Amino acid sequence: MKKELIVALDFPNLLDTKKFLEQFGDEPIFVKVGMELFYQEGPAVISYLKEQGHSIFLDLKLHDIPNTVKSAMRRLASLGVDIVNVHAAGGTKMMESALEGLEAGAPSGKKRPVCIGVTQLTSTSEEVMRNEIWINQSLDEVVVYYAKLASASGLDGVVCSSLEVPFIHKACGEDFVTVTPGIRLPNDESSDQTRIVTPEKARELGSTAIVVGRSITRANEPLQIYQQIKALWEGVIA
């Protein structure tokens, strides 16, 4: 997968999504559709975004028994999205079943979507992971462990923080996809994210793709901030 800047369309409905995208004119950007928008609009929002030429990461983070995940992935693959994901904590059998569903559901003659596993949410701190989720290892160790599990299950990559990317690429190879949310410009609020990184640091650390939501969607001038983040991410400006 090539380097991408993915914009999280965390909007309540299609109307707000359209208003936001209008600012980008004819430029088809790589977008992420999450639970809020998909649960409101369903597959119609995917059809609309595809018609407009956008590449799509459908971020539903599936986590269920293998049979249910396989059937759900079959449906999601038929939508023709580019990336889907599961929680790696669902285990090997669940991740393998996700891939089986994707292979079965991909439109004929088309490649299945890239499938990535969530390691630990970028909102999770080591303290919360140890004390609440009750995993008593370092965050880096846990993230690399889940990345290896995802790789052994045949997944194409993981969702993680850029902070963990060098360890993951060392363990799973440079081509293993690392999609990294938790991106902030220096003066941005971190909000609910705890493992945050600037776009230029994400580039230095080797992320395959960065995911940016509120820094762009809630900016006074979203297009201008998008272009600034893109230039920093691509190393065009320092």
Ligand X SMILES: O=c1ccn([C@@H]2O[C@H](COP(=O)(O)O)[C@@H](O)[C@H]2O)c(=O)[nH]1
| CB 109, min distance to ligand X, A | 31
Q: Is 117 in the site for ligand X (CB under 6 A)?
A: no
Beta bridge partners of 30: 6, 55
Regarding 82 and contact with ligand X (CB under 6 A), the answer is no
Minimum distance from residue 158 beta carbon to ligand X (Å): 10
Number of residues that bind ligand X (CB under 6 A): 16
Q: Is 64 a catalytic residue?
A: yes
Measured distance CA(193)–CA(182) in Å, rounded: 6
180 binds ligand X (CB under 6 A): no
Question: Is residue 150 at the binding interface for ligand X, with CB under 6 A as the rule?
Answer: no
Rg (CA), the chain: 17
Question: Does residue 213 touch ligand X according to CB under 6 A?
Answer: yes
CB closer to ligand X, 31 vs 73: 31
**Hey, which bits of the chain come out as E strands?**
4-8, 30-33, 55-62, 83-87, 114-118, 157-159, 177-180, 209-212
Does the protein bind ligand X through residue 208 (CB under 6 A)?
A: no
**Residue 153 and residue 100: Cα distance in Å, rounded?**
11
User: Backbone phi, then psi, for 227, in 5-degree steps?
Assistant: -65, -35
Q: Are 53 and 30 in contact (CB under 8 A)?
A: no
Residue number with CB closer to ligand X (99 or 179): 179
Contact 97, 69 (CB under 8 A): yes
Is 140 designated active site?
Answer: no
Is 10 among the residues that bind ligand X (CB under 6 A)?
A: yes
Give the distance from CA 168 to its chain's centroid. 16
Residue set of the binding site for substrate: 10, 32, 59-68, 122, 184, 193, 213-214
Q: Which stretch binds ligand X (CB under 6 A): 89-97, 148-156, 162-170, 213-221?
A: 213-221
Q: Which residues bind ligand X (CB under 6 A)?
A: 8, 10, 34, 59, 118, 121-122, 159, 181-182, 193, 211-215
Hey, which residues are catalytic here?
A: 59, 61, 64
